[in-house]
Amino acid sequence: MVEITNTAEFSAVLDETIAEIDALVVAEPDYRVWGMLQQQLHALKDWSKTTTTPGAERLHAISIGLIAARELEPTNEAWMQDLIDRLHLLHYYWRHWPTGPAPTLTPPSKGARKLTMTVVVLVLLVGGSIVALRSVARAQAGPPIPLGPPTPIPGALATLTSSLEPYVFSLRHNPESERHLIQLKLTDPTKRRPDRLIPIARHMRANALRFDAKLLGDDGQRLWFFVGRIGAWDYRKETLVDADDLRRANPALGTFAPKDNRGDPLISRSVARVAQPARDLWSGEARLYGFDGRLQVTTPDFRGVYAIDPETLRADVK
């Protein structure tokens, strides 16, 4: 586990964590926790450069440890646990920011030492009780629930599953705040090998599961799915394929211009507007993707359809 014992180590761990959170914000822009952590970590970076004594206001403005405890714990993923540990260490070091050489202290009396020990014991007891209550009050991760029927692929039956992510019970708990982990479950029909669970997406809202999480079909090399975005499991190479792979295979297919209906004579001027912004062919809505032996992609203006070649990932006009 990483340690922070001085400001140089603090700065190094902070830079590493900022880079990771920045990347998570890009990958999951709709997950508000990454945005909250990003804002505070960048503030922490700026403040640590300009002050030797943070002051009460800045000390209490940083709550990355609390956010990690409330939103990210517990976890069974090693990378997430490492991130959580770093957030706690950064928060602790900030709250105890060094202000210079330690002053000379008068040795405490025996009575003072006894009182200090009593306080420490009480704090430990109370802290242990809080941890115990918190573990009881936290809903554990739910079991994988199938999202539709399985699809056969070579050597396995593939099923998209959803698991409720852990959350802390609250009297004001809002079911809309619950998030789900989406995984691809691979089951050996012969039962000779254990099931495999391949993570596809995290933090999905329950209302998005109905339309934005589904298997599309097997093209002979990959099992295509739409889970918030287009993707596939390449069962020959045992790798995941995403929109970036499709972009690299089709550099000539870029962003589609916005559709402007302000000049359409059939639309009232009171409601005429730009119907949709510029759209990327590979990050459209679920309704733009279909399957007919090969992945089918409809352009955002609904004027063209492309079929994806299983071998090259190149898009051919149908």
DSSP the chain: -----SHHHHHHHHHHHHHHHHHHHHH-TT-HHHHHHHHHHHHHHHHHHH-SS-HHHHHHH--HHHHIIIII-S---HHHHHHHHHHHHHHHHHHT---SSPPP-PPPPHHHHHHHHHHHHHHHHHHHHHHHHHHHSEEPPPPPEE-S--EEETTEEEEEEEEEPPEE--TT--GGG-EEEEEEEEE-TTSSS--EEEEEEEEEEHHHHHHHEEEEEE-SSEEEEEESSEEEEETTTTEEEEHHHHHHH-TT--EEPPEE-TT-TTS-TTT--EEE--EEGGG--GGGEEESSSEEEE-TTSS-EEEE-TTT--EEE-
What pLDDT does residue 29 have? 79
Residues 61-79: pLDDT tens digits?
788 888 888 888 888 778 8
- pLDDT > 90 fraction of the chain, expressed in percent and rounded: 25
Residues 170-228: pLDDT tens digits?
556 666 677 888 899 999 988 888 999 999 888 888 777 777 889 999 999 999 999 98
What pLDDT does residue 314 have? 94
What pLDDT does residue 310 have? 94
pTM: 0.54
What pLDDT does residue 134 have? 46
What pLDDT does residue 216 have? 94
What pLDDT does residue 1 have? 55
Residues 304-313: pLDDT tens digits?
899 999 999 9
Judge whether residue 249 has pLDDT over 80. Answer: yes
Name the pLDDT band for 104 (thresholds 50, 70, 90): very low
Higher pLDDT, 133 or 6: 6
Give the residue-averaged pLDDT of 255-270: 68
